[in-house]
Copies of this chain bind each other. A is one copy, B any other.
Amino acid sequence: MTTQQLISEIYKKKSFLCIGLDVDLTKIPKHLLKEDDSIFAFNKAIIDATNHLAVAYKPNTAFYEAYGIKGWKALEKTIKYLNKNYPEIFTIADAKRGDIGNTSTMYAKAFFEDLGFDSVTVAPYMGKDSVEPFLAFKEKHTILLALTSNKGAFDFQTQKIEGNELYKTVLKTSKNWKNSENLMYVVGATKAEYFTEIRKIIPNSFLLVPGVGAQGGNLQEVCKYGMNKDVGLLINSSRGIIYSSNKGDFAEAAATEAEKLQQQMKTILDGNHRPA
């Protein structure tokens, strides 16, 4: 999917919501455990109930790998289901991969070609030659970890390198990599005041923003400082939406929570200038 297609969907749906599909079998409704593929059954119901409210879905691969081959199959079924039934949806493999050149190419093929995701999250620690293999794929997007929403972000990401925090060095350096137009960035919502500085460095890039809701981030604040002329934000919510209920009405309950966020987004978009 091109960035322009994603932007069109955002304005069409009046939503820049991404729903995190972090499926934990101990948290889903008990009646689903009788299904052959409980994880996929849960995802399918959530997707069918919420796809008109969200522009993106983001399975975190850890939750699937934790169930071994069964989990990997559920991930594959989920992405194939999305691509077949909702091709307008932007899909994110939240995998946080990163390795040396030829190995990164293997990861890129796994997520972009084999599974067919539009994008994958990648860790920056190993530098340019660990990320560029991902950037080489046309109409695919590499979402680089910049400033994450967890406490540990302050261990290294905000440490200063010649006066600049490491995450800013990551932003600046990555702009010079080959095919850097295919980069997006992860920036946690728990630190809304950082968005002003971030937008000075990367005014045009899309940001994937976790941490709204369950982790305490504030949507209005993030939009105030983080939004750009093309919206430029994908706001992720996982637990706050998918685990709204663990009874028979779980999918409807998820849609209700998703709609609350989507309605806030609509208000923000309606107040914002939009492209012609």
Contacts and interface: CB of A to CB of B under 8 A. Distances in A.
B62 A99 contact: yes
Contacts of A156: 124-125, 127, 166, 169-170, 173
B160 A110 contact: no
B96 A127 contact: no
Contact of A126 (B101, B109, B148): B148
**Which bracket fits the contact residues of A?**
35 or more
Interface stretch (A64-72, A191-199, A222-230, A251-259): A64-72
Copies in the complex: 2
A220 B151 CA distance: 41
B68 A127 contact: no
A103 B173 CA distance: 28
B109 A129 contact: no
A91 interface: no
B107 A127 contact: no
Interface of A: 22, 24, 60, 62-63, 65-69, 72-73, 76, 96-101, 103-104, 106-107, 109-110, 114-115, 123-131, 145, 148-157, 159-162, 166, 169-170, 173
